[in-house]
């Protein structure tokens, strides 16, 4: 990722890949799969773009068939399907809002029917709205954070669990903000903290079933969500994304995707209830 990002915005969340300058890198051309996920079946929410697309492509290169849920970004979804299939794996795209329990159940049923099972679940779809004043956060905006970022993780996990057996893995996308806080993202930070609690408690509940539950907490990563959430409020914040990290830049999705491979694979067979931090060198306490 270049150190310089031009100021830019996108008008609607969750944003689209095609408008990003520079374009994000989702998987490095020299990333070599080694069959770590051969024969596995994965479902990723928010898998059409950003970190979700990166996880999808890394899973596919490691031998997994991949399904993903997305909201309305049909062109991004078609491109992700094309990229997964280019890896020689099956791809399934399902449009729907994870804020609905019925949508999540129907999506899981559809995916299991097409792929023939489900071994890996990645809860990734999220929204974030910027506000430096808590009193300016509307009921609707607060509730949307809860509906997508918390309820969506619960609904999709609840629907997936009956289909998951020993050696399955659930991976939740958290955030640096759950640990460091962010004064401009109070609602978003609240949901990410809740996701961390969800991860730890669910890991304890499912350990006897042989299902591991972990999370990835990215720092600033160049995804459509960034210009779609910060751009309308502060264009300079988009241009400065990641400059306050020790590495002095934001990360590309390709720098996060391998973390999902690790947590989904047998390499992490002794890891559950944990959070893997990918944040450009920011120190986490607690």
Give residue-wise pLDDT tens across range 243-261: 999 999 999 999 999 999 9
Per the CB < 8 A criterion, the answer to whether 220 and 280 are in contact is yes
Instruction: Please state, in angstroms and rounded to a whole number, the distance separating the CA atoms of residues 125 and 77.
Output: 14
Give 81-107 pLDDT, tens digit per residue. 999 999 999 999 999 999 999 999 999
Instruction: Flag whether pLDDT at 4 surpasses 80.
Output: no
At 232, the pLDDT band (50, 70, 90 cuts) reads confident
Instruction: Flag whether pLDDT at 286 surpasses 70.
Output: no
Q: Which fold has domain 36-277?
A: Rossmann fold (3.40.50)
Give 180-190 pLDDT, tens digit per residue. 999 999 999 99
How high is the mean pLDDT of the chain? 95
Mean pLDDT of 217-233: 89
19-28: buried (b, 16+ CB within 10 Å) or exposed (e) per residue?
ebeeebbbbe
Which H or E run includes 107?
helix 101-115
- Sorted by sequence, the CB contacts under 8 Å of residue 135 that are 6+ apart come out as none
Mean pLDDT of 36-62: 98
35 C-beta neighbours (distance < 10 Å), count: 11
pLDDT at 10: 81
Instruction: Flag whether pLDDT at 74 surpasses 90.
Output: yes
Helix (H, G, I), strand (E, B) or coil at 138: coil
Mean pLDDT of 223-243: 86
**Could you tell me whether strands 275-278 and 91-95 are parallel, antiparallel, or unpaired per DSSP bridges?**
unpaired
Which neighbouring-strand residues pair with 217? 277
Instruction: Flag whether pLDDT at 9 surpasses 80.
Output: no
What is the phi/psi pair of residue 44, to 5°?
-130, 125
Pick from 15-29, 93-107, 146-160, 202-216: least confident: 15-29
Instruction: Flag whether pLDDT at 214 surpasses 70.
Output: yes
Give 146-197 pLDDT, tens digit per residue. 999 999 999 999 999 999 999 999 999 999 999 999 999 999 999 999 999 9
At 283, the pLDDT band (50, 70, 90 cuts) reads confident
pLDDT at 1: 56
**Could you tell me whether strands 120-123 and 91-95 are parallel, antiparallel, or unpaired per DSSP bridges?**
unpaired
At 234, the pLDDT band (50, 70, 90 cuts) reads confident
In percent, the amount of the chain with pLDDT more than 70 equals 98
pLDDT at 238: 86
pLDDT at 233: 75
- Sorted by sequence, the CB contacts under 8 Å of residue 90 that are 6+ apart come out as 65, 66, 84, 114, 115
Which H or E run includes 174?
none
104-115: buried (b, 16+ CB within 10 Å) or exposed (e) per residue?
bbebbeebbeeb
Mean pLDDT of 227-253: 89
pLDDT at 257: 98
Residue ranges covered by each domain of the chain: 36-277
Mean pLDDT of 109-123: 98
Is the pTM of the predicted complex or chain greater than 0.85? yes
Per the CB < 8 A criterion, the answer to whether 217 and 179 are in contact is yes
Please write down the HEC assignment for all residues of 212-268: EEEEEEECCECCCHHHHHCCCCCHHHHHCCCCCCCCCCCECHHHCHHHHHHHHCHHH
Q: Is 195 left (phi over 0), alpha (psi -120 to 50) or beta?
A: alpha
Instruction: Flag whether pLDDT at 45 surpasses 90.
Output: yes
Active site residues: 188
pLDDT at 3: 56
């Amino acid at each position: 990722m270049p150190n310089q990002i031009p100021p830019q915005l996108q008008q609607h969340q969750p944003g689209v890949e095609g408008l990003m300058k520079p374009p994000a890198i989702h998987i490095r051309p020299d990333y070599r799969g080694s069959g770590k996920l051969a024969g596995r079946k994965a479902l990723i929410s928010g898998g059409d773009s950003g970190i979700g697309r990166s996880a999808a492509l890394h899973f596919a290169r490691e031998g997994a068939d991949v399904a993903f849920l997305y909201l309305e970004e049909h062109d991004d979804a078609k491109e992700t399907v094309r990229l997964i299939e280019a890896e020689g794996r099956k791809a399934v795209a399902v449009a729907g809002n994870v804020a609905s329990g019925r949508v999540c159940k129907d999506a899981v049923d559809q995916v299991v029917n097409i792929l023939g099972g489900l071994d890996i679940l990645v809860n990734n779809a999220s929204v974030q709205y910027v506000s430096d004043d808590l009193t300016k956060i509307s009921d609707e905006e607060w509730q949307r954070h809860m509906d997508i970022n918390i309820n969506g993780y619960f609904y999709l996990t609840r629907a997936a669990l009956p289909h998951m057996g020993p050696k399955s893995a659930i991976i939740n996308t958290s955030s640096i903000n759950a640990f460091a806080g962010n004064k401009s993202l109070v609602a978003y930070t609240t949901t990410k903290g809740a996701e961390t609690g969800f991860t730890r408690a669910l890991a304890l509940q499912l350990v006897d079933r042989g299902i591991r539950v972990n999370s990835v907490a990215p720092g600033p990563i160049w995804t459509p969500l960034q210009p779609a959430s910060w751009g309308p409020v502060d264009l300079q914040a988009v241009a400065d994304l990641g400059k306050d990290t020790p590495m002095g830049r934001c990360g590309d999705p390709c720098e996060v995707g391998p973390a999902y491979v690790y947590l989904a694979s047998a390499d992490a067979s002794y890891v559950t209830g944990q959070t893997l931090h990918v944040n450009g060198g920011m120190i986490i306490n607690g």
